[in-house]
Amino acid sequence: MGGARSRFLSQADQLARGPNGDIQFSDTNKGSEVTDEQIKIAAKHLLLGPVVAFTGAGVSAESGVPTYRDPGGLWRKFDMKKVSHINSFLKDPVSCWRFELELYRLLQDVQPNAGHFALAELEAMNIVSGVVTQNVEGLHTAAGSRNVIELHGNETWALCLRCGHRCPSNEAFKRVGWLSSENTIVENALPDISAILRKERSPNQAKRRSKKRSDSASSSSSSSTPSPPPKRTQVVSVSPGSPRPRSASRPTRNTRRSESVSSSSSSEDSLPRGSNAPPAPPGAPTCLECNGLLKPDAIYFGENLNTKTLKHAKRLFSSCKAALIIGSTCKVAPASTLPVQLRSRGGKLVDVNPQGSRLSHLADSWLKGPSAEILPRLAKAVAELRCENRSYVF
């Protein structure tokens, strides 16, 4: 999806950068409850030392990246088991790629927001030393962040299971004729999506299910404690630009999806690679280098954690004195344990989240506002405070 990304990068640049390429910090408070004093206190925490940014779905949501479980989200329309589980991919890669085409369609109109650009600026100011993200659409890189660790991979790239070659996913779509050379979707070349759509329950089925649920509730004990949701495994993947090494411990699916899954026991890597990789069936995108089967380079349910990526993230956290947590519920282990560990060794936590996260109560600053508004204010405050400190020294 390199073409789409470069297009929205250039559009967003026009919006957010001035004639000299400087980030244009907005002076307008868009009505959040966060005061300038709160921003200043948070900025002082960030000035204590290298900062790692830890981002989740909330940052992308402010760019209009569709949610998966919210009303209207992709999971409401598509059958997750058929399009995002590694076993389904190995059984029917064409259907999984067909779903990816719908994601590509949605991401074509998505641009980095002011929060993404402010993070990139904080990195350019040597305040933020890197971004650890659970998101998979590449918006941090598109906004100019350089050190980005994508825990759940990057859905805008494709990976050859046989030789490890990576290419933008729009190249994969072109290989099967779903995209023209100008990146236009060739609608009449697309396979039918009916096989991967969620099955709608009939009114009678829905009624029976509802009755069963209420019967079950009334026959249970008087305790109102709900049953825990079924556990799913969780993932971590590689950063873009490097061949994906074998992963090692546990599965999940990316970004917003993984925001609501919990971790469970480890398992063997179920993704065959190299000489064990399955052959590409007719109609599936193939590698330009070796004609092997391409897979979207995001982590699917059932795939294992990538230990190398997780190690990179841990190393980054351990080298920092503060974490800037943005738009993440911090519910997904082991990623969510990284800020906790940083705090336990005396680091500062700044949480930017209008709804709050599991770590908001632990944070030294909790800025209850949207990141597209808060982060530019924070970057501006950091720049001003640093300027004041320098004036004082000299």
CB nearer Zn ion, residue 148 or residue 161: 161
CB nearer Zn ion, residue 290 or residue 333: 290
CB nearer Zn ion, residue 17 or residue 165: 165
Which single residue is written with the structure tokens 């960030």? 46
CB nearer Zn ion, residue 263 or residue 286: 286
What secondary structure does DSSP assign to 129-143, as a single string? EEEEE---S-HHHHH
How far apart, in whole angstroms, are the C-alpha atoms of residue 351 and residue 8? Answer: 27
CB nearer Zn ion, residue 287 or residue 324: 287
**What percent of the chain is helix, strand and coil (3-state, nearest 5)?**
40, 15, 45
> Is the distance from CB of 231 to CB of 300 less than 8 angstroms?
no
Instruction: Provide, rounded to whole angstroms, the least separation between the CB of residue 140 and Zn ion.
Output: 27
End-to-end CA distance of the chain: 48
Instruction: Provide, rounded to whole angstroms, the least separation between the CB of residue 181 and Zn ion.
Output: 21
How far apart, in whole angstroms, are the C-alpha atoms of residue 328 and residue 33? Answer: 19
> Is the distance from CB of 85 to CB of 96 less than 8 angstroms?
no
Number of residues forming the site for Zn ion (CB under 5 A) = 8
Choose, from 152, 165, 312, 361, the residue flagged as catalytic: 152
Instruction: Provide, rounded to whole angstroms, the least separation between the CB of residue 293 and Zn ion.
Output: 9
Instruction: Give the footprint of Zn ion on residues 283-312 (CB under 5 A).
Output: 287, 289-290, 292
- Please identify, among the stretches 107-115, 160-168, 222-230, 371-379, the one whose residues bind Zn ion according to the rule CB under 5 A: 160-168
Instruction: Provide, rounded to whole angstroms, the least separation between the CB of residue 160 and Zn ion.
Output: 3
CB nearer Zn ion, residue 49 or residue 283: 283
CB nearer Zn ion, residue 132 or residue 293: 293
- Pick from 33, 7, 1, 13: nearest CA to 356: 33
- Please identify, among the stretches 105-113, 122-130, 149-157, 164-172, the one whose residues bind Zn ion according to the rule CB under 5 A: 164-172
Instruction: Provide, rounded to whole angstroms, the least separation between the CB of residue 241 and Zn ion.
Output: 16
Q: Is 152 a catalytic residue?
A: yes
- Residues 246, 249, 252, CA angle at the centre, nearest 5°? 95
Strand order in the sheet with 148-150: 148-150, 128-133, 51-55, 322-326, 348-352, 365-367
Joined tokens for residue 327? 């738009």
Q: Any contact of residue 33 with Zn ion (CB under 5 A)? A: no
Joined tokens for residue 41? 């206190």
Which H or E element spans position 294? strand 294-298
Q: Which of 7, 77, 165, 343 binds Zn ion (CB under 5 A)?
A: 165
> Is the distance from CB of 179 to CB of 186 less than 8 angstroms?
yes
Q: Which of 163, 185, 248, 383 binds Zn ion (CB under 5 A)?
A: 163
Instruction: Provide, rounded to whole angstroms, the least separation between the CB of residue 306 and Zn ion.
Output: 19
Instruction: Provide, rounded to whole angstroms, the least separation between the CB of residue 292 and Zn ion.
Output: 4
How far apart, in whole angstroms, are the C-alpha atoms of residue 199 and residue 193? Answer: 12
How far apart, in whole angstroms, are the C-alpha atoms of residue 337 and residue 69? Answer: 24
How far apart, in whole angstroms, are the C-alpha atoms of residue 238 and residue 217? Answer: 43
| Coil/strand/helix, residue 179 | strand
Instruction: Provide, rounded to whole angstroms, the least separation between the CB of residue 1 and Zn ion.
Output: 19
Q: Which of 23, 151, 160, 363 binds Zn ion (CB under 5 A)?
A: 160
CB nearer Zn ion, residue 161 or residue 323: 161
> Is the distance from CB of 342 to CB of 351 less than 8 angstroms?
no
Rg (CA), the chain: 22
DSSP-derived letter for residue 225 is P
Which residues sit at the interface with Zn ion, rule CB under 5 A?
A: 160, 162-163, 165, 287, 289-290, 292
What are the catalytic residues? 152
